[in-house]
Each structure stands twice: as C-alpha cells, then as structure tokens.
Amino acid sequence: MSLVGAGRTIRQISAAMDSPVRLAIFRSDGSFYCVETRKRTTYRVWRERLGPKLWQLLVVADDPSFLTCNSDEALWQALCSDQYTTPILRAWIPWIREQLVGCCRMTELPGKNCSTAVLHAESSDLDRIVSVGLNLNKISIGDEL
C-alpha cells in the first residue's frame, strides 16, 4: 500500500499498522478501501518526506501469499516454493495464472503504476489445475523437455 498525505495522517496510519484493526482509507475521488491488519502478519513500513507538509507511506506485508510484483516470474517463484508440492514447468505459468484468477485462487490487486497480487491457492488447487490442463491438452510435459 502506498499513500501520500499530511505528516500526522501518515503517522497515524503507520501506528495503526502495528495493531489488529480494520482501516478504511478514503481516496481523493471519494472511493475507499479497507485494510485489515493482522497480528500474524508483519509489515515493512517506510515513510518519506516529499515536501513541507507532505509525506509518503509505503507498507509491504511480509506474507508469502502477497506477490509484490504480479509477473509470471514472481508467480513461478511463488509456486516453486516449499509451500507447493505440485511439479510444474515454467512454460505453464501463463495458463496456470489464467486458471488461478478464474477460480478466485489469485487476486490481482488494483494499484497505480504497480501490479501486485495475493495468491490464495493451496497445493491441492494447483494439483487440480495442472491435472485439468494436462487432461485437456492445455499444457504438456513436452513444453520444456
């Protein structure tokens, strides 16, 4: 999450990130979104002064399901982590991404000049997706061999 605002507001939001609360953050266009902080998730927080009364706050969750870069490479690295046991090939990633987003196991997050995502998938979800892809010939083992 990246926010720009008055120093006091930025300090208050920064402090709230250390407690289990739900924050409603309003945008300048009148829309808002909620951020729910959780004790089990830690955050890296940076504050930077942009001007006399203007600060930027950058908050990044230390959560393995959060992809700070929503790219095929980042998804590949996440799916090759110890969290997943399904064998996959790099060439399958675009199709797997499509399936994960389609069945709501990956949420692409809105952002300005950045693309992030949250991966909600379990190993069993990935097993099923790969199995279906192989059975329907959407992916093949010969893709990288």
pLDDT along the chain (145 residues), means of 10: 82 75 64 57 78 84 81 94 94 96 88 79 95 95 68
Output the pLDDT for position 26.
64
Output the pLDDT for position 39.
52
pTM comes to 0.66
DSSP 48-114: EEEETTEEEEEEEEE-TTEESS-SHHHHHHHHTSTT------GGGHHHHHHHHHHTTSEEEEP-SS-
Contact 32, 24 (CB under 8 A): yes
Rg (CA), the chain: 19
Output the pLDDT for position 22.
63
Output the pLDDT for position 10.
84
Output the pLDDT for position 76.
96
Domain boundaries, the chain: 2-62, 66-143
Which amino acid would we find at residue 135? N
Contact 60, 68 (CB under 8 A): yes
Q: Is 44 exposed, middle or buried (0-12, 13-18, 19+ CB in 10 A)?
A: exposed
Output the pLDDT for position 115.
82
Termini Cα distance of the chain: 40
Output the pLDDT for position 126.
96
Output the pLDDT for position 73.
95
User: For the chain, give me the number of helices (H) and strands (E)?
Assistant: 4, 8
Output the pLDDT for position 93.
97
